[in-house]
Chains A and B, each alone.
Chain A
Amino acid sequence: MTKKTLITDITSKLVPLRIWVQSAFLLIWLDPMGFRLHGVCGPVFHCYSCPLASFACPIGVLANFSSLHLFPFVAVGIVVLFAVFFGSLLCGWACPFGLLQDLAAKAPIPKFNLPQWTGYFRYVVLIAAVLAIPFFAGADHPLFICRLCPVGALEAAVPNVVQQAMTGQQIVWPNALKITILILVVAAMFLSYRPWCRVLCPLGAILGMFNRASVFFLRLDGDKCNNCKKCHNLCEYGIEPSKNPNSAACIRCLECTTCPTDALSLGSIFEKGNKTSDSVNSESLTAQT
């Protein structure tokens, strides 16, 4: 049986305050000190053309370097380091666009569930719009990720248009496809939980791939799990944590760790003991069913 650890204690106190933690991270991404460190990437989805962006967008850098036929060692190194430490914890707790979607999802409107298979489209976006199209067709191609990205549209293009209008300059509108995608994503944000993260986000696709090998991971204690499936209901993204706690589709919001038997918790490789990472005691679960 897994003992309660410091990490478990902290996360159990923080899970109800997740929105506030995400909001606090804005102080990092929105450059309150005006440093503009655009030579390095942040590990979250935030457009570098945003007037307040502290860091460069890792996806934008990947795409631009792909168009230049260069390998972005710094961007890939930063993403890999953050991913191997936290996996998609960054999605659930730090990403500013994730915060926006979580706030939009609080609107009292019925929500639609997106089927799990739509999550594979993230990899299509990553391979096509971020890597292949820039590599073979250059940054001027209409399907270059930055020309479509609703995050860039909302965080950069919209403030830019507003600023141009307020200062009397000629307004440069984003292209029609970008505006259309923005409208659709914003509408979807109110009608579903985190549609961008679940269906389209290429950075989430990368971070999620590291969930099984990350330093911090979701631990399932098979001795405590009574297969009640309450974690399935707690998960807003259709994942079954008791079967696949470190799914690549998971954003690690850790809502499932409010499991009534404390079977699910955030663990780390620093903890003592020789339990498996997923710690699924399949024999005890099979006996209970």
Chain B
Amino acid sequence: MLSKNKHIVVSSIILLIGSILLINGLFFRYIKIVPQSESNASVFVLSEWTVTKDTTVGGLFRDDAGRIKRTYTGKSPQACPT
């Protein structure tokens, strides 16, 4: 059981954590992506929400070297392959 004051404090702390996570992801997080063709010179960065959209169509994978690579060239797939 939480007392009312503790409840407010705990809720507020979790709200703050959630807000920080969301703001960081939306505005400050960029992820390096390697295109499907093997060429390190053309590595580019995408915002997290763009990466999120890409993952919903199975557009990214992690290769053996730990790099995040696109699974497609040109137009993205229409739906997730699963």
> Using a CB–CB distance below 8 Å, which chain A residues touch chain B?
38-41, 48-49, 56-57, 60-61, 64-65, 67-70, 72-78, 80-81, 83-85, 138-139, 144, 146-147, 152, 156, 160, 210, 212-215, 217, 269, 273-278, 280
Contacts and interface: CB of A to CB of B under 8 A. Distances in A.
A72 B48 contact: yes
B31 interface: yes
Closest 9 A-B residue pairs measured CB to CB? A73-B25, A77-B22, A77-B21, A39-B49, A80-B18, A74-B25, A64-B55, A81-B18, A146-B82
B22 A139 contact: no
B31 to A, nearest CB: 6
A275 B4 contact: yes
13 contacts: A39-B52, A64-B55, A64-B56, A67-B62, A69-B66, A74-B21, A74-B52, A78-B22, A84-B11, A85-B15, A146-B82, A212-B2, A274-B4
Interface residues of B, number: 40
Contact of A273 (B4, B7, B21, B48): B4
Contacts of B29: 73-74
B58 to A, nearest CB: 7
Contacts of A56: 52-53, 56
Interface in B1-58: 1-5, 7-8, 10-11, 14-15, 17-26, 29, 31, 48-53, 55-56, 58
A152 B1 CA distance: 37
A217 B4 CA distance: 12
Contacts of B82: 49, 139, 144, 146-147, 152
Interface of B: 1-5, 7-8, 10-11, 14-15, 17-26, 29, 31, 48-53, 55-56, 58, 60-62, 66, 68, 79-80, 82
A38 B52 contact: yes
Nearest to B47: A39
Nearest to B10: A213
A74 B48 contact: yes
Which of A61, A73, A80 has the most CB atoms of chain B within a 10 A radius of its CB?
A73
A277 B10 CA distance: 12
Which of B8, B21, B23, B31 has the most CB atoms of chain A within a 10 A radius of its CB?
B21
B7 A76 contact: no
A61 B21 contact: no
A210 B14 contact: yes
B4 A68 contact: no
Contacts of A84: 11, 14-15, 18
A276 B21 contact: no
A68 B68 contact: yes
A276 B18 contact: no
A70 B31 contact: yes
Nearest to A74: B25
A49 B8 contact: no
A77 B18 contact: yes
B56 A80 contact: no
B54 to A, nearest CB: 9
Contacts of B5: 274
Contacts of B49: 39-40, 74
Nearest to B55: A64
A213 B11 contact: yes
Contact of B50 (A39, A69, A269, A274): A39
Contact of A276 (B3, B15, B17, B51): B3
